[in-house]
Amino acid sequence: MNIWQKLNPKRVVCNTCQGIDGMQGLPPARLRLVEPWKFGTLYNCSFCGRSWFQIDDQKRIDLIQERLLPLSHHWNLTSLSVGAAHLHKLAHIGGTRNPYYQYIGVPYSVQNASGQRHDKALVMFGRQPPYFWYRPETVHWANEIADIAASPYTLPLEVRRATFEKQEIAMGFAPVGVVSPQGQEYTLSWQSHFFDWQSVRGEGIRLSGRRDRWRKTVASVPVEEYYFVDWFSGCEKLLLSGASASGKD
Ligand SMILES: [Zn+2]
């Protein structure tokens, strides 16, 4: 009996999908084409009915977690874009590409239509529905963005980029050494967009250049909200360079 059966004794256990949310793999023979989706294709499993999504030019196919299926349908049926003014601001801060999940994330302070502001929001330019580890309440859409502003918690682009490029040296530990304006050294242990530790905030953080004997390890700051935007031709060129990366504003 696997862990899924223990947790859900009445559930159909599917050897193809293995019942483990978030599993990724190549398309198994059991998958049935359902319909073309935005940027890809929706499949389901002929045995257990779970849904899978494949981006058009990718071999990989991903299981859509069931709790995220309604949001994924909404993503498919909605055109998600931001206006030129927002795009200009986002390009200025710049984003990092997550090569595994195929999106560019730009950290920002976002005010939504009801006036709430979140200083640790991530604007996501991608080609896939919100189907993996998101908590559903954190998933939002481009058209909910009323206003955006630079967040004091955002790490400079060169620091963010370093954390995304760093390989793991131990399980879940891909250290990047950074230093605060006061000269305090920290170690970012994983891909990071923000920094918020004992009143030290991301904007003043710089790379320390340290390569070993890691100083205080600080866990990644959780993203409060994700705003999904459709991938478009040229978005990499626009978003990955970051006009502020050189420090010249
Ligand atoms: Zn299945």
Q: Along the 249 residues of the chain, how does pLDDT read in single tens digits?
A: 555 556 555 566 777 777 555 556 666 678 899 999 999 999 998 888 889 999 998 888 888 988 999 999 999 999 999 999 999 999 999 999 987 778 999 999 999 988 999 999 999 999 999 988 899 999 999 999 999 999 999 999 999 999 999 999 999 899 999 999 999 999 999 999 999 999 999 999 999 999 999 999 999 999 999 999 999 999 999 999 887 544 444
Tell me, in angstroms, the distance from the centre of ligand 1 to residue 17's CA.
Answer: 4
Tell me, in angstroms, the distance from the centre of ligand 1 to residue 18's CA.
Answer: 7
pLDDT for the residue 197: 96
Tell me, in angstroms, the distance from the centre of ligand 1 to residue 49's CA.
Answer: 6
Tell me, in angstroms, the distance from the centre of ligand 1 to residue 133's CA.
Answer: 19
Tell me, in angstroms, the distance from the centre of ligand 1 to residue 48's CA.
Answer: 4
Tell me, in angstroms, the distance from the centre of ligand 1 to residue 20's CA.
Answer: 10
pLDDT for the residue 8: 59
The pLDDT > 90 percentage for the chain reads 73
pLDDT for the residue 3: 57
SS3 203: helix
Q: Which amino acid is at 65?
A: Q
- What's the half-sphere exposure (Cβ side, CA atoms, 13 Å) at 233? 0
pLDDT for the residue 99: 77
Tell me, in angstroms, the distance from the centre of ligand 1 to residue 118's CA.
Answer: 38
Radius of gyration of the chain measured on its C-alpha atoms: 20
Tell me, in angstroms, the distance from the centre of ligand 1 to residue 122's CA.
Answer: 32
How far apart are the C-alpha atoms of 79 and 45, rounded to whole Å?
27
Query: In this structure, what token pair is assigned to residue 98?
Result: 């997550």
Each domain of the chain, given as residue ranges in start order, spans: 3-64, 84-151+223-246, 157-218
Tell me, in angstroms, the distance from the centre of ligand 1 to residue 55's CA.
Answer: 19
DSSP 172: T
CA distances from 124 to 4, 11, 44, 170, 196 (A): 31, 33, 26, 28, 21
Tell me, in angstroms, the distance from the centre of ligand 1 to residue 31's CA.
Answer: 8
pLDDT one-digit tens code per residue, 177-205: 999 999 999 999 999 999 999 999 999 99
Tell me, in angstroms, the distance from the centre of ligand 1 to residue 13's CA.
Answer: 8
Tell me, in angstroms, the distance from the centre of ligand 1 to residue 125's CA.
Answer: 29
Question: Whole-prediction pTM value?
Answer: 0.89
